Amino acid sequence: MNEFKPGLEGVIAFETEIAEPDREGGALRYRGVDIEELVGRVPYEKVWGLLVDESLDPGMPEPEPFVLARPTGNAPSDLQAATARLSAEWGLRKLVDLDDRDARDDLARLSATMMSVVAQSARGRGQQRVPDDVVAQGETAAERFLLRWRGEADPRHVKAIDTYWICTAEHGLNASTFTARITASTGADCGAAMSAAVGALSGPLHGGAPARVLPMLDEVERTQDPEAYVKDVLARHQRIMGFGHRIYRAEDPRARLLRRTAKELASRRFEVAEELEHVALAALREYKPDRPLETNVEFWSAVVLDVAEIPHDLTPAMFACARVAGWSAHILEEKRTGRLIRPSARYVGPSPRPLSAVAGTPVPG
């Protein structure tokens, strides 16, 4: 296939057995199981098991003892750097030198410890660490995450985070997962693949949109005029955050689940979010009649994470916590293919020319 597709849209780069986003049907299945069945039935760490091992047991283990030395206040940066460091500190071996079982165990250790890194980064500099015996009182990964971060775990917050993590644990070949697979395909170690994925996820078009949704809701709450807000964004040819998706042409099923969760948890932003959603969808239909632009996962994620009082700037790192499951599953799947990913680029640069034609060439003599 030699046709160039900007952004690789529609290009099939892999076959996968992990997750199936049902583009037209608005459903998302992990190893065949609809996420609707998982939320509220099993905690995130079991969903990690479903995605990585195709079995709920044993699931993601508890984190290893790890102290984040100097939190910077930028959780994705802390996470990316700490994950890369873990490779060296734990002496992780290259994927090419591991069997599947050992690779899976490295990914399990990393996944759990990455969550601990984010909790410690969120707790911030200068705060005393929460004692391990307090953290150990948590029964689920979400509960332990909150205990490590805040020293307490409000059950509403636990439910918000657990639901959000399950809904966003895996979604096929997005930018960060592609990055993880590319890195894994070189035979690098699991820490390198996971930290590369964190970098890819930190951008607002992928993992950072919730951070931009809440300011939008604040603005609409202030002006009480969602129509004017939406009209202004589109008149400036800007994007309304939380709408549009590369895959779904029907509603993003995760948005549906998270909307329901926001309502169940009595989010104080539910009404304003629902009103803005309604107005934005109508305006987008008029703005791009030929391209379905529906609510995506990030719009209602922002509202659910707000219930758990997650600060805006922590949302990309919360997304990374969720996605450790998907990344781990894809890194293992990639390892099994044993094939280096190396696509091509069509050269469209300058025709052959002498060095003297290039600006800055030293003049002889």
Q: Which is nearer to ligand ACO, 156 or 246 (CB)?
A: 246
For ligand ACO, give the closer residue by CB, 81 or 255.
255
Q: What is the DSSP string of 213-227?
A: HHHHHHHHHHH--HH
* Residues near ligand ACO (CB under 6 A): 7, 174, 205-206, 209, 239-246, 288, 291, 293, 296-298
Given the complex with ligand ACO, which of 140 and 261 has the nearer CB atom?
261
Is 318 within 8 Å of 118 (Cβ atoms)?
A: yes
Instruction: Look up residue 105 and give its amino acid.
Output: D
245 is catalytic: yes
Nearer to ligand ACO by Cβ, of 148 and 171: the residue is 171
Q: Which residue is nearest to ligand ACO (CB)?
A: 244
**Distance set, CA 260 to CA 23, 153, 299, 324, 339 (Å):** 21, 22, 13, 24, 42
- Say if CB 44 and CB 142 are below 8 A apart: yes
Q: For the CB of residue 7, give the shortest distance to ligand ACO in the complex, in Å.
A: 6
What's the min distance (Å) between Cβ of 244 and ligand ACO?
Answer: 2
CB 27, CB 250: distance < 8 Å: no
5-24: burial string, b at 16+ Cβ within 10 Å, e else: eeeeeeeeebebebbbbeee
User: DSSP assignment, residue 250?
Assistant: S
Residue 4 Cβ vs ligand ACO, minimum distance, rounded to whole Å: 15
Structure tokens that stand for 39 in this block? 């939320």
In this complex, which beta carbon is closest to ligand ACO, that of residue 49 or of residue 244?
Answer: 244
**Cα 129 to chain centroid, rounded:** 26
Smallest distance, ligand ACO to C-beta of residue 239, A: 4
The set of residues, in sequence order, having a beta carbon less than 8 Å from that of 201 and lying 6+ positions away, is 76, 175, 176, 207, 316, 319, 320, 323
289 vs 364, beta carbon nearer ligand ACO? 289
**Contact residues for 278 (Cβ-Cβ < 8 A; gap 6+):** none
298 flagged as catalytic = yes
User: Which position among 45, 298, 330, 334 bears the catalytic label?
Assistant: 298
161, 164, 176, 210: which is closest to 329 by C-alpha?
Answer: 176
Tell me which H or E stretch contains 21. strand 19-22
Distance CA 37, CA 34 (A): 6
Find the shortest distance in angstroms from Cβ 62 to ligand ACO. 27
Catalytic residue among 45, 143, 170, 245: 245
CB of 157 to ligand ACO, least distance (A): 22
Q: Which residues are catalytic?
A: 245, 298
